[in-house]
Structure formats: structure tokens, C-alpha cells
Chain A
Amino acid sequence: MAAMAAMAAMAAMAANDNESERNLMDSVKPKGKCGAEAAPRPGPARLDVAQVRERLQAKKGPEFWRSLDELAATPEFEELLHREFPRHASEWTDGVSRRRFLQLASASLALAGLTGCTKQPNEPIIPYVRQPEQIIPGKPLYFATALTLGGYALGVLAESHEGRPTKIEGNPGHPASLGATDLFSQASLLTLYDPARSQTILHTGRPGTWGGFVGEMSARLRAVQALGGGLRILTGNVTSPTLTAQIQDLLRATPGARWHRWEPAGHHQSFAASVRAFGRPLETRYDFSKAKVIVNLGSDVLCEGPAGVRYARDFSEGRRVRANRPEMSRVYTVESVPSNLSTVSDHRLQLPPAQVEGFTLALAQALGAAPAGGPALTDPNIQKWIQAVVQDLQANRGASLVVADEYASPAAQVLVHAINQALGNAGNAIYYLEPLEADPVDHVRSMAELVRDMNAGQVELLLMLDGVNPVYTAPADLDFAQALQKVPLRVHHGLYEDETSEYCHWHIPAAHELESWGDARSFDGTVTLIQPLIDPLYGGKTSHEVLGALSNQPDATAYDLVRQFWSTRLPGLTAGLARAAQDTTGSGGITTTLGMGGFSGTTGGSWGPAPGAAGSNGSGSAGGDMASGAGNPPGTGGTIDTNSASATGTGTGAAGAASAATASGTAGAAGDAFEAAWRQALHAGQIPATAARRTTAAVAGGAAQQAAGEIAAALSRSRPGQITLLLRPDPTIWDGRFASNGWLQELPKPISKITWDNALMVSPKTAERLKVTFHDVVEVSAGGRKIESAVWVLPGMAEDTAVLTLGYGRKRAGSGTGQGFNAYPLRTTRSLWTVPGVQVRSLDKRYTLACTQNHHVVQGHEVDEDELANREAQRRHVVHTGTLEQFRRNPEFVREEREAPPPDLDMYPPYRYDGHAWGMAIDLNVCTGCNACVVACQSENNIPVVGKDQVLAGREMHWLRVDRYFYGDLDAPQIHNQPLPCMHCEHAPCEVVCPVAATVHSDEGLNDMVYNRCVGTRYCSNNCPYKVRRFNFLRYSDKETPVLELINNPDVTVRMRGVMEKCSYCVQRIEEAKIESKVEQKPIPPNWLQTACQQACPTRAIVFGDQNGREWEVRRWKEDPLNYGLLEELNTRPRTTYLAKLRNPNPLLEPAAEGAEHGHA
């Protein structure tokens, strides 16, 4: 570039060579001026004084004059005025002089250099002439909305910077969230911006128009109606009242039309079980806060399902041990696949699936919930377990909980219902809700019927809504794709062009939930409103709008439709508004408020932002209102209106604001009431008093007996050595819908720590027996169907068991295309989660999987460090563990084991922290390893996705990782999670070795990273004993894809290649708080500030704050005797510390004397 520019300059120079010579010659004239001035020109015009006088008198010239020349308007003066720097300026008009050449040459060099480095956008930028209401550049707004998974809503607050959503936080007022989030909702932000999303309406593969679609639909629909049937709608699990009403309206209007549903990872077996047990489908819900003894039979309800976030929170409250509260619940886990819940269990028993069910049966029999008899589990260890568990459960009748949930067979779940009923737990720790779907159906049967009808040619028009992807996800025995081709008109609506859209005549891009209006029920039935943060980026349509197109409302917006639905219903609910709001917000027991917006959160509005300023941090006060609960219930302050106005006004842009205005303008008195209620509901993100009522149900007589018989039969059929394949939704990409989401793909899966792929997990012994190992590709076949998959050997798996997660092996899924192995071909209507008796055959092929911990592939050779690493972790006291009994006997036992050097052992003078001293503590006792914190950190801090090859090279960029350790026997290990952010050491080894002072200590104890100063020697990373630093080996930040620029948090630098980065304790949030504190002239209220990981954590395992502040929770945690620093003996003085992990073992299973040995197991 530089060379080209220079050459151009040279060429110009050459062309003008003669001319410039001539000029030079000319310049040698008596005037002695520069060559430029020397061009021949007429002599100076004579100043005619008389003429000047005349002009002055005529007053035609300016009234003030500077010289006679001006008055005379001589050509010289004109020229003087014309040129600012007359002599130099005129040089530009000449040929190339020496001076000119140098200028050109240097300018071209400089320009070439500039263009070589950065790209300046060509588009003109326009500042706000009048600032939009409520938008202050740099100040985010927060909107209450919801994100759904499997139809169930999680209430969230979406952070918006100048109209673009940048972060998802939990809604503290929402019962499913209580302020926390899961990894899916965190990552859905990336799905919103995903450039791989479908961006145009497709008609037979070519770009189509909405008008064309509406036209064809109405024509076809009339034809279908004339034929008397043939319209079919296929959706996932739908809890949205509006959508349900729309569909039902359409069904009514179209005789013979039917609504089918297919949620791949929905509640199939749990509904089947409840039908068997209670005679009708019921939603089973747990209240972990009421359970002192929990027996988990293979479920993973803490990190999955509609209520995972809430369950995790309730569960953690029962496990939080402190010096003043030395109590915790006791958790037994009997399972075939290690789960997140088992990492926080006190006892873990791994059994093959059939034996887990056998265990359930034995438990039911021992508790009198099932008739005795049948084959017994003879293993003495299992016998001992059953005895101990039964004793414990009976001692805690009414305060215990046996959980089986979806993955257990319906028979086993029936027994579990019976057990809970026998123990008096029903209505306490376990309760039942009427289905949240308006019209609950058995999804499997519904699909089967659809396929039957399609094959029979009875389906004229199939409408597949909201990303449902049956060609990929439908049970394999239905052969959906084959049947689909018999439908004359197939319409697909979804975020992505996928396997199903390929077969469809029409593909309508869906709007993301952050672009849509809508509603959905959360796990307890609370209707949660979905409001858009941004206009559809890719012109997507919501399901409401697609259905509207089929029901004579082609131009209705989703906003109109949702509002219209609630306009008749909402006023009836408003009476209960304040009460319900208090109910839902007060029950959470929130002590930590939102770390955003104004300080009003904790102070109950006493000195919060004035109403006029509320817009600036509108949802800050929104969060504050809800967080402060009863102290400032929604609906009392003037801030409410401002906030909800901001929701409608800025959220949807001008159109939304206009429609809101017209709506409120035309409505009458009833309309006003609705308007107020509507705004309040939007503000809170939920419609009050919509939670489903708990229902009572009794297990039908004979159901348990029949179930017992089934299990006994299955148990006697099972043979050792016969492999049972378990299918599960993937812990990061779920049923495949997040396959294109880089954050989730790169997120190390809990326990296995694999990224970007799934794999067939088997236990070390089973792998040995099958003669397979890591990365081997095997063929798994069952009932004539077969798939291929790579193998991963996972300690903690039961023998004769293999597990493969769903969601991979996608043929069309944006950036996730082709990753991993498709498990759906083995999933049939009869074996949704469990495929017994599969054959596993090694294929003598290899497929390299990328794992982030203790497993590496180096030039084709694999290095499996698991065993060694875990032995060393134990020797090094990485995770301090103990038992509750030990803690009760000697609360100081962790402190006594610590090896921290004396505080004065330092070469350098100590730092003084007179102001704040930021610190973090992590409670290992409640960390389930769910990964929500990791994604939250990635989202907050603009952490790039590096791709599988870079993960294989060992270069993942997560600032916060969750280390996993297996302790004890590799065939039956205990599993521990350890989240690892930067330790912000007071004696930071990284700081002293940086040659350019790019990592320095702040006066508040932060170990700051100065990206601009970093030259990238990487010595800091080498010298960091915790290895929390991450290096941009290549240019990982995507600065080329324009849409991905929108996702970045503007408060955090996007790092370039060649610089080191690491956890900053969300320093941008600290600074924001300090600025706020300065503006308000008040100290930062205790616990006001939260890091992203802390805020996302469903179990509140992470606490951050000012160690110097007396009221801050972090200080209390740090003073707790369980507190310890990682690798303290190195004298690094970590600011991040851990609370030791305690177990509460049953003395029957583990005599106390043995427990004492677990000092630092």
C-alpha cells in the first residue's frame, strides 16, 4: 500500500518534471520570491483614491475597512482575501516543486500507514440533535423481559446500550430467576446477533416476500378450508397464553385443523408418569428449601429444565454452612451419569440405569410405597445404601425429597411419586401444578399422529412454528422427513435455516425473543412478558405475526396481538397486583441487589434518582424497586411510569412509541386502567397473580404395583455386559437449537470439559472392556439403527453405560454445522432417553475432541492426565474438603490446615488500602459447576470465541474457568468444581516480571491489566501459579463482522492480538459504582456492587465486594473459618478466596472416624 502510494507520487512528479523545471527557471526573476509566486502576472493595479472616495460615499462597500486596498477592491486585495496563506497556498496550484514532492511523498506514506492499520467507516455520523428521552450516551437502560427454553420463561433484565442489547441479567423480582440466570439465557444474546441467522424469507429456496407469503397463505387456507381440513400446526412446548389463543382461534376458524407439538427435550416421561400415577398430566415441582434429605435418582434438575435456576437457589440455601449456621441438608445421588447435582452430593452411588431403577424399587418397597417381592439388588453395598437412605428418609418425613424427574422411566417416576407421598413430602418439598400448557398433549403421540396423517395424505398445509426442527429432532422411527415430503405446502418459521427448512416451500425468519413481543409462563405458571429491546435485526417475524398472517390479521404486529390479548384479561388481574408483586418479590429473600443503575436499590428510594432523572438509569430503579421488595413495591412511585414508558418508547423505537401513544390516546377509562396495569406488568416483567395453583393428587391404587412389576421385569432382563445408551440434552447446546452459538459451543461441558463436540461417554472399565479409548470412533447400533461417535472415557460413569448428548451432528446450523455426532437416529418413540442393549463396535478411526482440562492431544498422541492430576490436586489441597461433623467439632479445622506464610514476609513494602479493598469469595459448597458464570463473564467482558482448533491448541480465552477434580477412586470418584477467576494477589507474581509495567497493582487491591501497554512477553502468564491469564495469540476478536460489534459491552475494551488479558473483577462495574458514589456524594451501599459472574450465579456461590467495608457480605465470608486461599503457601496472598467444601455424610455409610480423615481430601 505504502509502496503504491509512493509510486503514484513519483509518477506525478515525473509527469510534472518539465513543468516544475520551467517554474524553477521562472522563479529566478528579480522579485526573488519563491518560484510559485513568480508566475508572470499583470503589475499591481493603480490605487485610484478618487474612486475610493466615491465608493465610500456611495456606501456600497463595507462600512469598516481595513485598508485603502480593500476599499478600492483591487485584484491584489481580492486575492489576499481569497487565500489564507497567500504565498504558500499558491504553491499548490503549481507543478511539483521540491517542497510539494516531499509533502506528497510523506503524505502518501502517512496515509498508506493509516489505511494499513485501521478502517475508517465511510458513512457520515450524525450526533443527536435533540437527545432521545431517557437515553444518555454511555448509560445503559435495563428492560424486564423473558427468555424461554422449552416453552418456559425465565424472567430477565436485558441491558441496552443506545438501543442495542449487550447483557442479560436475572430479574430479581421474577420467581424463576430471583436475579440469577442460566447459561442459555446468558448466551441467547449471541444468538440474537448471530450472523448465521436466516435473514430473508425464502420461497422454494429463493428470496421471497412477506406479501407473497401472506397472499399464498390466505389463498391456500381458503382452499384448505374448502376441503374441510388439512391444516396442521407444529410447535414446540407452548405456554404463551397469547399464542395459544391465536392458535386455538385459527383451529376454530379452520375445521379439521390440528395442533401438534414436539419439544425434543420436553416433559415426555414425567407427564406419562403423572398420567399413570394421578390419572392426568401434572407438572411436578420441587421446593428444595423444604428438604433436609434429598435423594436424587439420576436427575439433573439444578442445571436443566424450567426451574433449574430457582431450584439451584433454593437448594444452595440449604447447603450454605457458616460458623453461625453449621447445618446443611444431606444429598444422596444414585445415578449412571455424573451430573451437576452429584458434584454437590454427600454420597454418590453410580449404578447402571436398570439398577438405578432397581434401587428406586427397593427404596419404594422398604418405605412401603410398593409391594415387596421381585428380584432384589444383592450387592451388599447397595443393600447398605438402601438401609441408610431409608432410615434417613424416615427420620425426615415431610422434610425430605426423592427426585427422579424426566429421565427416569415412567414406572420409576410413579414409584417416586408414591415414595414422596408415603413420606408425606407431597405438598411440602414436592408439589404439583396443573399443566401450564393450555392444551396438554403427549408430544410423542402428537408427533406420531402427525406423521401418520402426513403419510395418509391428510395434511395439506403444515406450519412449523418457532424454530421447531422435526426433520432433525423427531423420533427416528417416525421417519419424519419421508412423511414431510408428502405435504403439498410446508412452511417453516425459525431463527435459522435448518434441516427442516431445507424441505420447506416457505421459510420465514423468526424474530429472536429480544426482538419480539410475547408472553410465556415460567415454571410456576407466572406469565412473563417478553418485550423487544431492538427492532428485528434480520427482519424476523414472531410466531404471533405468522399466525396473524393466517387469520386475517396479516399486518398486525406482535405488539398489537399481545396487547390485544391482554387488554381484555389484564384489568381483571390488576386487583391482585400489589399483593402479588409483594408476594413474588418478598419471598426471594434478596439481600444483594442489582449491581447496576442508581443506588436506590438498597436504600428503598430515599435518595434514589429524582423522577426526572429516572430515565437515565431507568431500570436501575426498576431493579431497585423489585429488589427492595416490600419497601418500595411497584406501582407506588412516579418512577414506574417513566420506566414502563421507556420500555415501550425506546425498546421498539419510534413505531412502538407511536402505537403506545395512539393506544393510550384513543382508549377510554377502561383503557386507562388497562394502560396502567399493562405498564406495571411490563415494568415488572410479569403479570401478577398468574402463578398456577398447586393441586393435590393421590397416586392411584395399583399404579405403584404395576410400576414395580415393570421395573422388576426390566431388572431381571438386564444382563451385565450389555450396554445401555442414555440420551440426554446437551449441557451447552441443549437439543441442538444453540448449535450456532459460539459461546455455548466453546463452553467446556460440565465434568467432561469437552468443547465443540459431544462424545460417547463410557467409564474407564467399560472402555477397557470395549477396547476403546479417547478419540476412537465407534459405531453404536440398536434395533437396526446405527450412528457413529467418538468415545470419551469419563470417570464417574456407571459400568455398562454409555451416554451421548443430543444436539450435535447438525447438517445445517450456522457455525455449528458438522460438529459432533448426531444421536437422534437412535432416539425412537419407545426409547426417548434410554436405549437398552446397544452394540458398540470400534471403527478403527479417530476423531479428535477438544478438551480444556487434563487431556491433550499432541501430534496425534493423547496425554490423559486425569489420574495424576487428581492425585496431585489432592496432595496440593487444591479443594479443601471436610465433613460437617468435623466442622462442628472444630470449626477452625480449615484454618489450622492452612499454610499461609506470616504477613510480614515480603521484600517490598506492603500496600496500604485506605479506601476500598476489593475481594471475592467463592463458596465451593454450593457451586454446582453449571457454567452460568463463565458465559456471563464472556458476555460482560467481550471475551472472544476462538474455535475448536484453538481450544485444541490450548488457547481458550475464558477469564473464569471452572476446574473439575475427581477425588478418590477413579471408578467411583467424588467430583469437585472450582471456579477460578483471577486471584488478584496482593503479592502478584505477574506484576514483578512484566518488563513494561502493563500489569500493575491498584490502590484498591486490584491487579490491573493495561492492554495498551502490553507488548506480549507472556512472562506474567508463566509466572501466574493459577494460570488465569489469557493471551491473544492470534486476532481472536471479530472486528470484521459488523453485527458482532453491536454485542460488545462498550465499557470494556475489545482486545487486539498480542496482548494479555484476564479477569478484572469487572472493573468497569467498580468504576461505574465509584462514579455514581461521587455524583451522589454517598459511599457505595454495602453489597450494591456485583461482578457479572456473581450476578449470574444461581446458587449465589460467588460474593464480591469491599473487604474494608464492615457491612459487606464478602467480609463476613472472609472472616468465616471455612475461608482459605488457593496455593497460599506461595505467599501470593490471593484476594479471591474459597470457602472449603463440606460433606454431610450419613454415619451409617461413612463412620465418623473415617470422616475425620477427609481433612483435605
Chain B
Amino acid sequence: MATLENGGLPAPLEKPYRPPIVAPGHTTASVTDKISEVVLQRTPKWWFFGFAASFSLLMVFLVSVTWLFVKGVGIWGVNWPIGWGFAIICFVWWIGIGHAGTLISAILLLLRQEWRTSINRFAEAMTLFAVACAGLYPVLHLGRPWLFYWLLPYPNTMNLWPQFRSPLIWDVFAVSTYATVSALFWYVGLVPDLATLRDRSSNRLAKVIYGFGAMGWRGSAAHWHNYETAYLLLAGLATPLVLSVHTVVSFDFAIGIVPGWHATIFPPYFVAGAIYAGFAMVLTLAIPLRHLFKLEDFITTRHLQNMGKVMLATGMIVVYGYMTELFFAWYSGNVYEMFMAWNRIFGPYRFHWYTLILCNAVVPQLLWLRRIRTSPLWLFAISMVVSVGMWLERFIIVITSLHRDFLPGSWGMYHGTIWDWGTFIGTIGLFLTLFFLFIRFLPTISIFEMRTIVPGSHGGEYTEVPR
């Protein structure tokens, strides 16, 4: 940097240069205009195409689920001995994806990482939708889904409670708490922006609807004060949840005695995997979004690069998890564990495992290169690969552990049926449909928070030396 100007004297305290998180030239007004315009303008054509495609996938979901309810889980590939299949794989996959939003919103907020501002809104929305998709699976995969409420502790005439030793019960609490807090967090963060939209929309109906949502927000100091307090509190609440949800989800496996599940590494390994998958999904969504809505000014290369770094870091933790699993298997000397590891690498699902390693461990190493980290196209491709890899990881954990466990006489094989795929693709449809509705009707980027980071809004807080 330009420090020699001072003749060798120590440079004045100056922040190191970072690329801006908002493109230069923006004012609070232009930020508001630009973001709210996305919602208030006429619906662009591509939106209709995108929505129609997503909605058709949603119909695939409805058909699959209807057939599922008519016939039973036997339409899926689950069998004996592989009692869990796509439903649990996809549950864990979606729940993992749902981690990034809250992590970005809550943890990065608490850590005062301002760059989060331009991505937190849609990351949170993504979280909500992903959790919604995830939450469907445990109900759908039940043999008698209409009795799902028996997993809830509710007073009943039989005086029966759920069985609290079962990790599936912990799951119910973890996921429902997470969904509730995430929804609240997202909504609270939306309130000032809904007020903005209320004020700016010309359509009477929109005014009323946004007005309801804004809950009488007028932007008074008292409002802002309450808002900041509530938001921080929720962030504080949400932060441990980010860690706890996937920890509890990992207990679904770790509590079992099945070789390949019963491992202490699971909680941290799952959490890292979740963040990994979550960031991959944020990137998958952010890159086309910024292009289509021309939001490159707000979701800058720096954002992409930061997310790439997070992916690289969490990806390495996940790879460490894989290595630990193999090491444990070898070090335990336990015939079942050793066989499990051997079977993953050389068994009938070896190609799944190799692909997993390729997707989750090898390809992301490209992120070490700055050129790739700053290339939206590369990042998009890598994120997709990671998403596939993370799906395969859950496949490996669920299927290869179950299909050859203790007694060789009860080994089996598994493959998903058309209805498994229909349900999975269907939830992608549900997710995308919700997301398309979201980007059309709500501000994709937090307007008021963006205003706070526009240069000058904080009296020179951001005095980076322009290059």
C-alpha cells in the first residue's frame, strides 16, 4: 500500500484496503431506489419462466406426495435392511442448506461482518424455505404420516409422552425451534423494509399488504431502538441454534449403534458440512440473482470471494471429518468399523464415495486460487458441485452404513425409485417456487441495512483509501 509516502514513518492508523462492499457512487437514496425497484417494477419476463418451471416441479412434488399417501412408503426404495433412504438423505441435505442463512444473519452480525448485509436477507429466506423442505421429509417418511403429532409432547387421554431417549424427539424440538427462530428473525429484519415498500408502492393493495406487514413502522427513534434490541436478542438466540440443530441432526445417526453412524466426530463434522452446503447454496442463488436483477453493486465480488473462503474453510473441516472417520475405523480395530470403511471405499457404492471425494474434497481446492474465487462462473459451478457432493455425503452416511451392517446374512442393497426422485425434485420445486415468490414480492437485499453501509452514512467510518 501507499505507506512510503511518509518517509518511512509508521503509517497513520488506517484500515487495510478491502474491496468495497457497495460499489462506489451509491447514496442512501440510490440504494433504496435500486432495491425497492426490483419489487415495485413490472414483473420481468424471465421471472415468469422461472416461476413456471419451479411451479411445475412443485406439481411433481404434489403428485409424488399424493401417491405416497395413497400407497405408503413402499413406493420408495427403502427396504429391509435399509430403513432410511432419500427422505432422510434429503432431510439432512436441506437442513444443512438451511444453516447458512442464520449463520450469515446471526453470527456474522454479532461478529460485525458488515459484508453480510447485502446477502443476509435472501440467505435467511433461503434458510426458511430449506427448513420448510427439510421439515416435510420426517413427516413424509413415516409409515403412518397422519400420526406425526405423536412425536409432540401433547396432553392426551392415554397419558403417553414421546420417548425422550430417542434422538428423533430431539430432532423435533431442534428443527421446530430453529424454524421458529429463523422465521422470527427474518420477519423482524423485514419490518423496516416493508415500511419502505408500503411508502413507495403506488398500488393500493400493495400498500395495504405491505402496511400490514410493516406493523405500523414509522421509523421513529423508539422504533429503531426497539428494533435493534430485538434483532440483537434474536441474533443471540439464533447463534447457538446454528450449532445445535445440525448437532442434534447428527445425533440421529450418532446415537445409533450402526457402524458408520456411531461416531463422536459427527456433531462438529455435520455442522461444518451444513455451513459448507449452505454457503454453496447461497452462492448458487446469489450469482444468478445479482446478474438478473443487476445487483452487482450490492453483491460484489468481495461477497462472492468471502463466501468462497468460508466454503473452502468449512470444506476442509469436512474433509478432516472424512479422514477422521477412516482413521477411527482403522484405529478402533473393530471388525464392524473396519469393514464399514472398507465397504465405503471398495464396496458396491464405491463410485458414490469417489464422487463424493471428488466433489467435496478435490474440486473445492480450486478456491485457493484468487482468480477462481472472484469468478462468478467458477464459483457457481463449484457451488453446484459442492451441493451434489453434500447430497452424496448424506447418501454415503445413510445408505452404506445400513446396507451392510453386523450380520452378513441380512445385507441388502438400495436404490431410489422414481418416486424418491420425484419427491426430491419436488422439494426443489417447492424451494424454488417459494424463492421466486420471495424475490418478486419482498426486497431481496435489506434496504435499510444497505443504507447504513453506504459510504458517508456513518460519518466517515469507512475511510478506505481508494485505489
A residues adjacent to B (C-beta < 8 A):
853-854, 856, 858-859, 863, 865, 868-870, 872-873, 875-876, 878, 950, 953-956, 961, 963-965, 978, 980, 989, 992-997, 1013-1019, 1021-1023, 1025-1027, 1029-1035, 1056-1060, 1126-1127, 1130
| Docked-complex contact B74 and A955, CB < 8 angstroms | yes
CB distance from A320 to the nearest CB of B (A): 24
17 contacts between A and B (CB under 8 A): A872-B408, A873-B407, A876-B407, A876-B408, A961-B409, A963-B410, A997-B161, A1015-B145, A1021-B83, A1027-B406, A1029-B80, A1031-B80, A1033-B73, A1034-B71, A1034-B74, A1056-B144, A1127-B406
| Docked-complex contact A1032 and B83, CB < 8 angstroms | no
Per a CB cutoff under 8 Å, which of A856, A1022, A1056 touches B84?
Answer: A1022
Task: Give the residues in chain B near A868, CB-CB below 8 Å.
Answer: 408
A856 to B168, CA, bound (A): 30
Task: Give the residues in chain B near A1019, CB-CB below 8 Å.
Answer: 83-84, 166, 168, 252, 256
Binary contact readout B224-257 vs A (1 if CB under 8 angstroms, 0 otherwise) = 0000000000000000000000000000100111
Task: Give the residues in chain A near B144, CB-CB below 8 Å.
Answer: 1014-1016, 1056-1059
CB distance from A867 to the nearest CB of B (A): 10
Given A859-B415, A1017-B168, A1127-B407, 20 extra CB contacts under 8 A? A854-B408, A878-B408, A963-B409, A980-B407, A992-B165, A993-B165, A996-B151, A997-B160, A1015-B150, A1016-B73, A1016-B142, A1019-B168, A1022-B402, A1025-B257, A1025-B405, A1027-B81, A1027-B410, A1058-B73, A1126-B407, A1130-B257
CB distance from B270 to the nearest CB of A (A): 17
**Which residues of chain B from 35 to 78 have a CB within 8 Å of any chain A CB?**
71-75, 77-78
Q: Considering only CB atoms, which chain A residue lies closest to B338 in the complex?
A: A875
B residues adjacent to A (C-beta < 8 A):
71-75, 77-84, 138, 141-145, 147-148, 150-151, 160-163, 165-169, 172, 252, 255-258, 335-336, 339, 348, 402, 404-415
Per a CB cutoff under 8 Å, which of A865, A995, A1026, A1056 touches B407?
Answer: A1026
| Docked-complex contact B74 and A1026, CB < 8 angstroms | no
Q: Considering only CB atoms, which chain A residue lies closest to B405 in the complex?
A: A1025
Per a CB cutoff under 8 Å, which of B138, B169, B255, B409 touches A873?
Answer: B409
| Docked-complex contact B257 and A994, CB < 8 angstroms | no
Q: Considering only CB atoms, which chain B residue lies closest to A997 in the complex?
A: B163
Task: Give the residues in chain A near B411, CB-CB below 8 Å.
Answer: 854, 865, 869
Q: Pick the 3 closest A-B CB pairs, nearest first.
A: A1016-B143, A1058-B143, A963-B409
With a 10 A CB-CB cut-off, give which of B141, B407, B411 has the most chain A CB atoms.
B407
Q: Considering only CB atoms, which chain B residue lies closest to A908 in the complex?
A: B165
A965 to B410, CA, bound (A): 11
Task: Give the residues in chain B near A1056, CB-CB below 8 Å.
Answer: 144
CB distance from A323 to the nearest CB of B (A): 28
A1034 to B70, CA, bound (A): 10
The dominant DSSP class at the A interface is loop
A1014 to B80, CA, bound (A): 17
Task: Give the residues in chain A near B402, CB-CB below 8 Å.
Answer: 1022
| Docked-complex contact B80 and A1059, CB < 8 angstroms | no
| Docked-complex contact A854 and B409, CB < 8 angstroms | yes
CB distance from B70 to the nearest CB of A (A): 10
With a 10 A CB-CB cut-off, give which of B160, B255, B413 has the most chain A CB atoms.
B413
| Docked-complex contact B258 and A1022, CB < 8 angstroms | yes
A953 to B161, CA, bound (A): 34
CB distance from B326 to the nearest CB of A (A): 19
Per a CB cutoff under 8 Å, which of B78, B80, B415 touches A858?
Answer: B415
A1030 to B79, CA, bound (A): 9
Per a CB cutoff under 8 Å, which of B78, B172, B335 touches A1018?
Answer: B78
Task: Give the residues in chain A near B147, CB-CB below 8 Å.
Answer: 1015
Instruction: Given the known inter-chain contacts A1013-B150, A1013-B160, A1034-B71, please indicate yes or no for A876 contacting B80, CB distance below 8 A.
Output: no
| Docked-complex contact A1034 and B72, CB < 8 angstroms | yes
Instruction: Given the known inter-chain contacts A1016-B144, A1023-B256, A1031-B143, please indicate yes or no for A878 contacting B409, CB distance below 8 A.
Output: yes
A1031 to B143, CA, bound (A): 9
The dominant DSSP class at the B interface is loop
| Docked-complex contact A995 and B84, CB < 8 angstroms | no
| Docked-complex contact A870 and B408, CB < 8 angstroms | yes
Task: Give the residues in chain B near A1017, CB-CB below 8 Å.
Answer: 138, 141-143, 168
| Docked-complex contact B150 and A996, CB < 8 angstroms | yes
| Docked-complex contact A1021 and B79, CB < 8 angstroms | no
Per a CB cutoff under 8 Å, which of B73, B167, B413 touches A993?
Answer: B167
Task: Give the residues in chain B near A964, CB-CB below 8 Å.
Answer: 409
Task: Give the residues in chain B near A994, CB-CB below 8 Å.
Answer: 163, 166
Q: Considering only CB atoms, which chain A residue lies closest to B166 in the complex?
A: A995
Per a CB cutoff under 8 Å, which of B78, B138, B405 touches A1033?
Answer: B78
A858 to B347, CA, bound (A): 14
| Docked-complex contact A996 and B162, CB < 8 angstroms | yes
A228 to B255, CA, bound (A): 84
Task: Give the residues in chain A near B142, CB-CB below 8 Å.
Answer: 1015-1017, 1058
A856 to B84, CA, bound (A): 18
Q: Considering only CB atoms, which chain A residue lies closest to B257 in the complex?
A: A989
A1017 to B411, CA, bound (A): 20
Per a CB cutoff under 8 Å, which of A1015, A1018, A1025 touches B83?
Answer: A1018
Task: Give the residues in chain B near A1032, CB-CB below 8 Å.
Answer: 72, 143
| Docked-complex contact B409 and A1060, CB < 8 angstroms | no
Per a CB cutoff under 8 Å, which of A865, A954, A995, A1130 touches B406?
Answer: A1130
A1021 to B406, CA, bound (A): 13
CB distance from B400 to the nearest CB of A (A): 13
Task: Give the residues in chain A near B408, CB-CB below 8 Å.
Answer: 854, 865, 868-870, 872-873, 876, 878, 965
Task: Give the residues in chain A near B336, CB-CB below 8 Å.
Answer: 876
Instruction: Given the known inter-chain contacts A1014-B144, A1033-B79, please indicate yes or no for A993 contacting B409, CB distance below 8 A.
Output: no
A875 to B335, CA, bound (A): 8
Instruction: Given the known inter-chain contacts A875-B335, A996-B151, please indicate yes or no for A858 contacting B410, CB distance below 8 A.
Output: no
| Docked-complex contact B257 and A955, CB < 8 angstroms | no
A996 to B167, CA, bound (A): 11
Task: Give the residues in chain B near A950, CB-CB below 8 Å.
Answer: 74
CB distance from B439 to the nearest CB of A (A): 36
| Docked-complex contact B79 and A995, CB < 8 angstroms | no
| Docked-complex contact A876 and B166, CB < 8 angstroms | no
Task: Give the residues in chain A near B404, CB-CB below 8 Å.
Answer: 865
With a 10 A CB-CB cut-off, give which of B138, B163, B414 has the most chain A CB atoms.
B163
Task: Give the residues in chain A near B143, CB-CB below 8 Å.
Answer: 1014-1018, 1031-1033, 1057-1060
Task: Give the residues in chain B near A961, CB-CB below 8 Å.
Answer: 409
| Docked-complex contact A995 and B415, CB < 8 angstroms | no
A1057 to B143, CA, bound (A): 7
| Docked-complex contact A1018 and B84, CB < 8 angstroms | yes
| Docked-complex contact B409 and A965, CB < 8 angstroms | yes
| Docked-complex contact A1025 and B406, CB < 8 angstroms | yes
A964 to B407, CA, bound (A): 11
Task: Give the residues in chain A near B72, CB-CB below 8 Å.
Answer: 1032-1035, 1057-1058
With a 10 A CB-CB cut-off, give which of B78, B167, B348, B408 has the most chain A CB atoms.
B408
| Docked-complex contact B348 and A863, CB < 8 angstroms | yes
Q: Considering only CB atoms, which chain B residue lies closest to A1060 in the complex?
A: B143
| Docked-complex contact B166 and A992, CB < 8 angstroms | yes
CB distance from A26 to the nearest CB of B (A): 43
A992 to B252, CA, bound (A): 12
CB distance from A1078 to the nearest CB of B (A): 26
| Docked-complex contact A1021 and B81, CB < 8 angstroms | yes
A1013 to B71, CA, bound (A): 20
CB distance from B427 to the nearest CB of A (A): 19
CB distance from B271 to the nearest CB of A (A): 22
Instruction: Given the known inter-chain contacts A993-B256, A995-B163, A1057-B143, please indicate yes or no for A1033 contacting B412, CB distance below 8 A.
Output: no
A859 to B420, CA, bound (A): 14
CB distance from A480 to the nearest CB of B (A): 43
Task: Give the residues in chain A near B409, CB-CB below 8 Å.
Answer: 853-854, 869, 873, 878, 961, 963-965, 978, 980
| Docked-complex contact A954 and B79, CB < 8 angstroms | yes
Instruction: Given the known inter-chain contacts A1014-B143, A1019-B83, please indicate yes or no for A1026 contacting B406, CB distance below 8 A.
Output: yes
A964 to B410, CA, bound (A): 10
CB distance from A956 to the nearest CB of B (A): 7
